[in-house]
């Protein structure tokens, strides 16, 4: 895979090992996922799409536009340690969605599932909120996690077991704005 010439500009000179998913790969897959999600949910029933920040912000922005039915969008910031403000069981909700989950279909959008810790801590908290359904959509899944509290119904790509950056994914807050996904 040829590395686009502007990669060094984009990364501030950092060498990326290789491009794992190009902008085109991602766009194609996100379009497919949007179509599947659109078809999955019954017409006329509320769908709330909840993005896990920060990593999902670009994926969610693209995915939301490929879901061809009415949706509401909210966000959630969870932290297992650090300076959270609201402690809800084992997970700290640094930002808890304003929207009520009660009686609505809830689709949780995650950038990447690695160890599964985030999802395993979050799902039990969200399960108590009376959603009509609770599903998980992840752009990337490393498939190294032990069985999850909730397996993702939609996965963009089974990712290589490498550290990935770009398209929302960071390394020390850098590289989130790369339009492709690369291995560092």
Give the binding-site size for ligand IMP (rule: CB under 6 A): 13
For Mg ion, the closer of residues 26 and 101 by Cβ is 26
Give me the least distance between CB of 112 and Mg ion, in Å please.
Answer: 8
Phi, psi of 43 (to 5 degrees): -65, 145
Nearest to 125 by CA among 108, 144, 141: 108
Residues 94-133 that bind ligand IMP (CB under 6 A): 110-118
Q: In the chain, what is the greatest distance between 2 CA atoms, to the nearest angstrom?
A: 50
Q: For strands 154-158 and 164-165, give the pairing.
A: unpaired
Residues 154-183 that bind ligand IMP (CB under 6 A): 163-164, 169
Catalytic residue among 62, 114, 158, 170: 114
Judge contact between 72 and 16, C-beta under 8 A.
no
Cα angle at 156 between 150 and 160, to 5 degrees? 95
Choose among Mg ion, ligand IMP, none what residue 168 binds, the Cβ cut-off being 5 to 8 Å by kind.
none
Judge contact between 59 and 110, C-beta under 8 A.
no
Give me the least distance between CB of 124 and Mg ion, in Å please.
Answer: 21
Residues 38-77 that bind Mg ion (CB under 5 A): 55
The residues pairing with 21 across neighbouring beta strands, listed in sequence order, are 181
Cα angle at 76 between 72 and 80, to 5 degrees? 160
Phi, psi of 124 (to 5 degrees): -60, -35
What's the half-sphere exposure (Cβ side, CA atoms, 13 Å) at 90?
10
Choose among ligand IMP, Mg ion, none what residue 118 binds, the Cβ cut-off being 5 to 8 Å by kind.
ligand IMP
Give me the least distance between CB of 101 and Mg ion, in Å please.
Answer: 24
For ligand IMP, the closer of residues 104 and 168 by Cβ is 168
Catalytic, 114? Answer yes
Binding mask 6-45 for ligand IMP (x = CB under 6 A): ----------------------------------------
Residues that bind ligand IMP (CB under 6 A): 55, 110-118, 163-164, 169
Residues that bind Mg ion (CB under 5 A): 55
- Name the residues annotated as catalytic: 114
């Amino acid at each position: 895979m040829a590395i686009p010439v502007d990669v060094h500009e984009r990364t501030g000179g950092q060498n990326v090992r290789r491009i794992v998913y190009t902008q085109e790969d991602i766009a194609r897959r996100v379009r497919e996922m949007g179509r599947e999600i659109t078809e999955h949910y019954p017409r006329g029933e509320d769908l709330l799409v909840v993005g896990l920040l920060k990593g999902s912000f670009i994926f969610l922005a693209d995915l939301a536009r490929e879901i061809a039915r009415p949706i509401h969008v909210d966000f959630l910031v969870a932290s297992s340690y650090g300076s959270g403000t609201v402690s809800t069981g084992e997970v700290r909700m640094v930002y808890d969605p304003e929207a009520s989950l009660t009686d609505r279909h809830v689709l949780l959008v995650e950038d990447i599932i690695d160890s599964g810790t985030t999802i395993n801590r979050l799902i039990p908290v969200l399960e108590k909120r009376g959603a009509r359904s609770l599903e998980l959509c992840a752009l990337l899944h490393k498939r190294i996690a032990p069985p999850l509290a909730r397996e993702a119904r939609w996965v963009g790509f089974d990712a290589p077991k490498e550290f990935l950056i770009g398209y929302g994914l960071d390394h020390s807050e850098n590289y989130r704005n790369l339009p492709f996904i690369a291995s560092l």
